[in-house]
Amino acid sequence: MRKYLAIFRIRFANSLQYRTAALAGVATQFAWGFMEILAFLAFWRVNPRAFPMEFSQTVSYIWLQQAFLALFMMWFFEGEIFDAITRGGIAYELARPFDLYWRWFTQSAANRLAKTVLRCSPILLVAFLVPQPLKMSLPTSGLSFLLFLVSSFLSLGVVVAFSMLVYISTFYTLSPTGVRIISAVLADFLAGAIVPLPFFPEPFRTVAEALPFAAMQNMPLRIYSGNIGGVDALWGLGFQVFWLVTLIIIGRFTMGQALNKVVIQGG
């Protein structure tokens, strides 16, 4: 356990260095968040009854999504891991006494957390200060806030476990670009990163809500905003645990297969 903590620490510390990048990120997220909320506001003014979520829920969903972007975004990968596979640095990784799956898992999670820590507070601060109807609301209850926290961690786990599959595919394809782009576009869309899942038309929505992508940001953001509450929220957590475990099992199995016939690239 200590060795994985050490990896976590050094990755976390390393990512905290990039202050300017964080600042630029915050600016982008503000602009994006405002535009998205304004677009939803325009739709809502035309026909509030056609809205599948309450407007305040939608606003909270979008602000939280922007604040925690680094935690949940699916187009973000560790360049180091791709390099290790395609350029042969993995030789050193395998000559160390740790399980490669958990080592990469820890590294990805640490990087995402560090980025989020740097970025979330200014966005949340402003989101609570802007006037209605753009203002973010507080969680409906202490319990729902607690559920939100738990769900966020599970969501991070699902996101990283899914990214691991993309990394592992590189053992076979040797070029991460294709899988990376497809996964970024598809996963982000199906996770509700572009439009929240309740806005999806039926029966597409039912299908999307059963996929592993629905166990990503969809869950914590809707729990916080009160769109999913009570027993449904608990079911939601169960749903996330199910996909987390499933993805980890698939990842570990395929990684074991890949390592058996791994080729160290570049001599």
Q: Omega before 133 cis (within 30°)?
A: yes
Binding-site member from 52, 89, 122, 139 for other proteins (CB under 8 A): 89
Please tell me whether residue 82 binds other proteins under the rule CB under 8 A. Answer: no
Whole-angstrom CA distances from 84 to 91, 108, 154 are 8, 14, 27
Minimum CB separation from other proteins for residue 18, in Å?
10
Binding-site member from 2, 19, 45, 49 for other proteins (CB under 8 A): 2
Stretch that binds other proteins, among 51-59, 95-103, 150-158, 204-212 (CB under 8 A): 95-103
CB of 32 or CB of 98, closer to other proteins: 98
Please tell me whether residue 258 binds other proteins under the rule CB under 8 A. Answer: no
CB of 54 or CB of 99, closer to other proteins: 99
Whole-angstrom CA distances from 229 to 8, 23, 135, 235 are 33, 34, 21, 10
Binding-site member from 32, 99, 137, 258 for other proteins (CB under 8 A): 99
Binding-site member from 42, 50, 231, 263 for other proteins (CB under 8 A): 263
Please tell me whether residue 7 binds other proteins under the rule CB under 8 A. Answer: yes
CB of 86 or CB of 246, closer to other proteins: 86
Binding-site member from 20, 46, 49, 92 for other proteins (CB under 8 A): 92
CB of 17 or CB of 141, closer to other proteins: 17
Which parts of this chain interact with other proteins (CB under 8 A)? 2-3, 5-7, 10, 13-14, 17, 88-92, 94-99, 259-264, 266-267
